[in-house]
């Protein structure tokens, strides 16, 4: 598969790109997919040095890639700021080793910006989160320039729709849902 463009706009008819790594990409699709103005959420790999990696290669920790989602959205209907809010509410931004039961380099968090405006917005969002006092530890999620994004294998796409029972069980068993409930109260 070819990597996606790393420009801020896919084209003027479709919308803007946002790319987030939040641990297991299965758990990162549904929270974004439900919002008006979000056209697509694709599971994939980014941030590393291996072209067209497989799931097994990424999980081995040798590619430098993280599991991520790339979102195509209409910035008029769904702002990048709102996407950042959704992102922060799905992760533990204080964990530098992975997310919940998934630990290791491929499960680390990151915000990958596609424009200088996205970088500034992400930095400000991170600063506000740090200043909120919500977390007792530093926010360690890095903000990095977007690079090539490689869509994951077909069986990983829209996993929550294809395998709803396993998806719910995995989210709950991983500790993600409990963490979100405690950290944010509403789980959104």
Q: To 5 degrees, how large is the angle CA 107–CA 126–CA 21?
A: 20
Question: Distance between CA 44 and CA 55 in Å, rounded?
Answer: 9
End-to-end CA distance of the chain: 32
Question: Distance between CA 134 and CA 123 in Å, rounded?
Answer: 17
Q: Where are the alpha helices (DSSP H) in 20-90?
A: 26-33, 55-59, 80-88
Question: Distance between CA 35 and CA 3 in Å, rounded?
Answer: 25
> Of these residues, 24, 27, 59, 101, which one is catalytic?
24
Decide if 24 is catalytic. Answer: yes
With beta carbons less than 8 A apart as the criterion, state whether 84 and 111 touch. yes
With beta carbons less than 8 A apart as the criterion, state whether 92 and 70 touch. no
Can you read off the two tokens belonging to residue 94? 């204080």
Cite the active site residues.
24
């Amino acid at each position: 598969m070819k990597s996606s463009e790393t420009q801020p706009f896919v084209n003027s008819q479709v919308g803007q790109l946002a790319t987030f790594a939040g641990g297991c990409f299965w758990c990162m699709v549904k929270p974004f997919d439900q919002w008006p103005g979000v056209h697509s959420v694709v599971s994939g790999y980014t941030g590393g040095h291996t072209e067209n990696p497989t799931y097994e290669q990424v999980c081995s920790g040798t590619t430098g890639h993280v599991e991520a989602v790339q979102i195509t959205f209409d910035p008029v209907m769904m702002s990048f700021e709102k996407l950042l809010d959704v992102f922060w509410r799905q992760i533990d931004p204080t964990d530098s080793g992975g997310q919940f039961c998934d630990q290791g380099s491929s499960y680390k968090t990151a915000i990958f910006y596609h424009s200088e405006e996205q970088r500034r917005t992400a930095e400000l969002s991170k600063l506000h989160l740090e200043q909120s006092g919500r977390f007792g530890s530093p926010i360690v999620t890095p903000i990095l320039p977007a690079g090539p994004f490689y869509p994951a294998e077909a069986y990983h796409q829209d996993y929550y729709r294809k395998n709803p029972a396993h998806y719910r069980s995995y989210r709950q068993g991983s500790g993600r849902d409990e963490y979100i409930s405690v950290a944010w109260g509403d789980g959104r």
